Chain A
Amino acid sequence: MAIKSNKAIKISQKHLLGIQDLSINDVNIILDESSKFIELNRSKNKKLDTLKGKTQINLFFEPSTRTQSSFDLAGKRLGADVMSMNITNSAIKKGETLIDTAMTLNAMHPDIIVIRHQDSGACNLLSQKVNCAVLNAGDGRREHPTQALLDALTIINRKNKIEGLRIAICGDILHSRVARSNIYLLNMLGAEVNIVAPSNLMPKDIESLGVNIFSDMKKGVKDCDIVMMLRLQNERMTSSFLSSNREYYEYYGLSPDKLNYAKDDALIMHPGPMNRGIEIDTKLADDINKSVIKEQVELGVAVRMACLKIFCM
């Protein structure tokens, strides 16, 4: 299947660093483009030559399975030459800074760099030092724009709209870039966003981003169209935020009884990877009538193809 649109794609940004920088027009361009790739990805011949001759470097300073493979596949399906680099902590300890790495890679003339880094703002720094476009695949706890875009696409696919929906984002908000990007995007698209978290995992003053905050999950998910669960990021927790996983599940895990407070046709989302039995009941996670978790992964490839295409061209 050929996707040929000669309509000029005009996006306001050179890089995709965060949802914060995008206009609603930018978002619509990306989402429109993404939906064109969904069918392609389901067809037999998935290969295009849109990015033929272009070089894409995936620069991952933090371990990642789904985001990295998703970007990898997205680039390959568009015909780009994709190189994935996993830069572990030991390489950083050799003394090379992010800027050094960036300069080295820049000298190889990539057309696009996809970066994931444990420090917030790393992609901003990188974007100032290289000539090509930079796509943020997650920086610290700041933003993860493609995740938010794929979440929005998933919601639109199922509910045909975002405007007017009530969406609960629940769990470890403090450490979550997914939460931040989703708050910006869902707000922009007209949803009402509820944030549910224990006080220890609630970022300071987050209500000023235009969300409702709840420490009681039942109240937070009440009448919601979407319940988005987040992973408890134990690796980012330096000291005791919670008493125990079982207590967390009791109060903040998505169980059938808590889901009952949401609308009957509410959808369950999760950016993955899941801690089954901690933030989400394992049966609910796999319930094909309610859970769209697998669809999120599927549409992730389409969204990343769209982003690569738009920012590479």
Chain B
Amino acid sequence: MKKKYFINGNIIDPHNSLNEEGGLIIGEDGKIEGIGKKVNTKNIPSREKFIDLKGKYIFPGIVDMRVFVGEPGYEYKENFRTLSEAALSGGVTSVVTMPNTNPVIDNVSIVDFLKRRGRDKSKINIYPSASLTVNAEGTNMTEFGLLQNKGIIAFTDGTKTIQNTRIMSRIMNSARDLNSLILQHAEDYELSQNGMINDGIIATKLGLQGIPELAEIIIIERDLALLESIKCRYHISQLSSAKSVEIIRNRKEKIKFSCGVSINNLSLNENDIGDFRTFLKLSPPLRTEEDRIALVKGLSDETIDVIVSDHKPEDEEQKRLTFAQAGTGASGIETLLSLSLEHYHNGSVKLETIIRALTSNPAKILKINKGNLSVGNDADFCIVDLNKPWIVKQENLYSKSKNTSIESKKLQGKVMNTFVKGDELFNL
């Protein structure tokens, strides 16, 4: 690989507290050799070609902590190759894949398959998670230790929640012993039973069973009560309500844990469901505008650590059904960054905070050396035109499934190029 030089970029690297104009040098080995304002035409050898970014932004490659891939079992929805293309077009270079496949990622032998497929077919860094319980049934714990040894980065039942408090306490004890990371989807099934959207006036009008915010709050409160006595690495995957943000803001003063939010819940509310738009059947559900604003505020004051895409490809057949029968989830990895930038453009969140929630924060929670632009590290990064307008169109999506929650939405800011280990794998 030839050395690459970039100059006149706007570099934001929250991990290194870097927010300055400057350049980037990538070595022949695909590692970062130099970065920052000291990289300019003066110290680039005159024989070398360089790329003038003319003010475009350089961000570390995005680390997306909540991504569903269809392998194994649902390859028709998304495979590692299509996921990679989709991710790269959105500046995402590392993902944590959810274990809700068929079969569920719950034992060592499947992990071998997954690692092999990920390595052979994927162009981005795949960090697989495994389920907390066998078959994600919430009853018997999986082998956290052995799975970790095979390269599992975190444990989660993905779309499911551990309902049984006794089992949750045992999971936390094991996680503490083995230093494992738990990712919990917070939903009390008794309260959310048959629920489809936020419990409120929209649910009443549409005649759909509601999911009350209490379903989320009960699990958060329960887990945090457990966590107070069983200290382990614990992360709440996605918040959806203003009350959840408030609880977490208070509890973070005493207990150490982290939490995330889906870009969907940050950007949309229950009114967007309109006339039964099944693409907006999401888990957790979209809630009120007040809830959305509270989530944005929570991101802004860093109560919320991470933004995820909750990328959940569903084929058309799963969405061409009545709302009650339709599958849950939306494709979102390609629009994660651009949609996040909306909160910068409208002045509600600082750019650096957004980039931190997309790069260094998830990397820190996962304990991986990604999401930064430190010298000597893999050159995983993206070049972004912060102001470029574009319109989301299903037919332009790289993902195998086209179930975007923001079809026809006008966005500002687009990834122009994405690099993994110094290789340019996407350019617009």
Q: Which residues of A contact B (CB under 8 A)?
A: 20, 97-99, 117-122, 124-125, 139-143, 177, 180, 203-206, 208-209, 238-239
Contacts and interface: CB of A to CB of B under 8 A. Distances in A.
14 contacts: A20-B205, A119-B322, A119-B323, A119-B324, A120-B276, A120-B324, A121-B322, A142-B206, A143-B207, A177-B207, A204-B203, A205-B204, A206-B201, A209-B204
B41 interface: no
A238 B204 contact: no
Interface in B179-222: 193-194, 199-201, 203-208, 210, 212
A239 B194 CA distance: 11
B204 A121 contact: no
A206 B204 contact: yes
B320 interface: yes
10 A-B pairs with least C-beta separation:
A142-B207, A120-B207, A119-B322, A121-B276, A141-B207, A203-B204, A205-B201, A119-B324, A122-B322, A140-B207
B204 A120 contact: no
B320 A208 contact: no
Contacts of B204: 180, 203-206, 209
B201 A119 contact: no
Contacts of A139: 207
Contacts of A119: 322-325
Listed residue (B205, B275, B276, B320) with the most chain A CB atoms within 10 angstroms of its CB: B205
B193 A124 contact: no
A204 B323 CA distance: 19
Nearest to A140: B207
Contacts of A125: 276, 321-322
B322 A239 contact: no
A143 B276 CA distance: 14
Interface residues of B, number: 22
Given A139-B207, A203-B203, A209-B205, 7 more contacts: A120-B207, A120-B324, A121-B208, A125-B321, A180-B207, A204-B203, A206-B204
A240 to B, nearest CB: 11
A169 to B, nearest CB: 14
Contact of A204 (B201, B276, B317): B201
Listed residue (B205, B206, B322, B323) with the most chain A CB atoms within 10 angstroms of its CB: B322
Contacts of B323: 119-121
B207 A238 contact: no
Given A121-B206, A124-B276, A206-B204, A98 B322 contact: yes
Contacts, number: 70
Nearest to B201: A205
A203 B201 CA distance: 8
Nearest to A206: B204
Nearest to A119: B322
B320 A99 contact: yes
Contact of A97 (B203, B212, B321): B321
B428 to A, nearest CB: 34
A103 B212 CA distance: 36
A120 B206 contact: yes
Nearest to B207: A142
A124 B275 contact: yes
Contacts of B212: 204
B407 to A, nearest CB: 15
A123 to B, nearest CB: 10
A208 B325 contact: no
A141 B212 CA distance: 18
Interface in B320-336: 320-325
Nearest to B204: A203
A121 B320 CA distance: 12
Contacts of A239: 193
Contacts of B205: 20, 142, 180, 209
Contacts of A124: 275-276
Contacts of A180: 204-205, 207
A204 B210 contact: yes
B201 A208 contact: yes
A209 B400 CA distance: 41
B274 to A, nearest CB: 10
A164 to B, nearest CB: 26
Contacts of A20: 205
Contacts of A208: 201
Contacts of B201: 204-206, 208-209
Contacts of A205: 200-201, 204
